[in-house]
Structure formats: structure tokens, C-alpha cells
Amino acid sequence: MKKVENNRVVTLDYELRDASDNTVLDSSAENGRLPYLHGSKFLMPGLEAALEGKSLGERVELTLSGDQAYGDYDEKMVFTIPRKEFPDHIEVEVGLEFEAEIQDELRYCTVTQAEHDLITVNANHPLAGRTLTVWAKITDIREASQEELEHGHVHEDGEDCDE
């Protein structure tokens, strides 16, 4: 029987809740099953570790602290940059979300304040620092293709991928 291990594509049914008030934040019921390449650091570290060695049909349920989930909130990841750093064709406003390379790491960023010449950006994950409860059930395990291994992520059926 196949087990969850590095370089295998694992598909999950899942539900993610805020541990403080039990609010559902994300789920496969809402967004579909989640395929990921195990070992690629796609999942929250605590969840990926809990799935290691599990088999098809097994389920995990756990509560994760910020450092085991999306990281601790880091005040240094909130900073101000000149508006001219953004491309002219982008309308910079509060709530704009984008990815940027920060300290050699691709980070999810949100504009939190947009003054005339200065833009405040928060590069913390929106769930950083929060304690989360997650359950996940393994619905499929398969070998990753060579292309998936080279790219470091799962390719959906028929997906063309330049990266």
C-alpha cells in the first residue's frame, strides 16, 4: 500500500478552522480536493509532518500554532515602499494582493495603506500567528511525474506548465 512520502502527489479532503472561534476558513467542500506534492513545502509544516507515513483513507485532525501553520506574525514584514516601485498599469489601493520576492523568498503581500507617494505592504500570510484547527483525509496517493518533480508542484490533467 502506498504511503505519504516525499515526491508523491497526495490529494486531500480537508477543513481549516480558526481555533479561537471555530469559524471555517477554507475547505474542500467549498474549493475542491487539494492535490499537493509531498515534501515541496506547499502545506502548512505541521500538517505535512502529520501526514507523513499515512495511507490512503487515513485522516488526521490537529491544532496548529502559528509557527506550525503559516508562521508567526513578523512586524518586520510590514513596510513602506515608494508608489513608483509598482508598475504604472497597476491600480494600487488598499486590499491589493500580489506576490513578491522578499529576502529570497516568494511572499504573499497585501497593500494595507495607500498614501499619495508611499504604500504600506504587509508580507505576512493573512493567517500568520493564528492558531488553526485542521482535519484532512487522504483520498489519493500517486507517484509524481518527472515534470512535477522538476517544477516542484502538481500538474492537473492536461495542464501546460511553463514553470
Mean pLDDT of 96-123: 91
Q: Is residue 21 part of a domain?
A: yes
Residue with cell 518586520: 76
CATH code, domain with 81: 2.40.10.330
Number of neighbouring beta carbons within 10 Å of residue 111: 18
Residue 45 lies in a domain: yes
Per-residue pLDDT at 156: 78
Check pLDDT > 70 for residue 159: no
Inside any domain, residue 144: yes
Does residue 66 share a domain with residue 12?
Answer: yes
pLDDT above 60: residue 122: yes
57 and 102, same domain (yes or no): no
Q: Are residues 109 and 135 in the same domain?
A: no
State residue 84 phi and psi, 5-degree precision: -65, -15
- Strands 105-114 and 118-122 come out as antiparallel
Domain of residue 109, residue span: 75-122
pTM of the predicted protein model: 0.82
Note the pLDDT tens digit of each residue in 14-27. Answer: 999 999 999 999 99
Amino acid 161: pLDDT: 56
Strands, E, within the chain: which ranges? 8-18, 24-27, 34-37, 59-64, 78-82, 97-102, 105-114, 118-122, 132-143
Strand 118-122 relative to strand 78-82, pairing: antiparallel
Give per-residue pLDDT as tens, 50-94: 999 999 999 999 999 999 999 999 999 999 999 999 998 989 999
27 and 97 inside one domain = no
**Which has more confidence, 100 or 94?**
94
106 and 40 part of one domain:
no
pLDDT at 139 over 90: yes
141: burial class by Cβ within 10 Å (0-12, 13-18, 19+)?
A: buried
The domain total for the chain is: 2
For residue 31, is pLDDT > 90? yes
Q: Are residues 82 and 60 in the same domain?
A: no
Q: How confident is the model at residue 160 (pLDDT cuts 50, 70, 90)?
A: low
CATH at 139? 3.10.50.40
Q: How far apart are CA 67 and CA 51, in angstroms?
A: 17
**Claim to verify: residue 83 and residue 39 sit in the same structural domain:** no
Mean pLDDT (the chain, rounded): 93
Return the percentage of the chain with pLDDT > 70, whole number.
Answer: 96
| Residue 163 within any structural domain of the chain | no
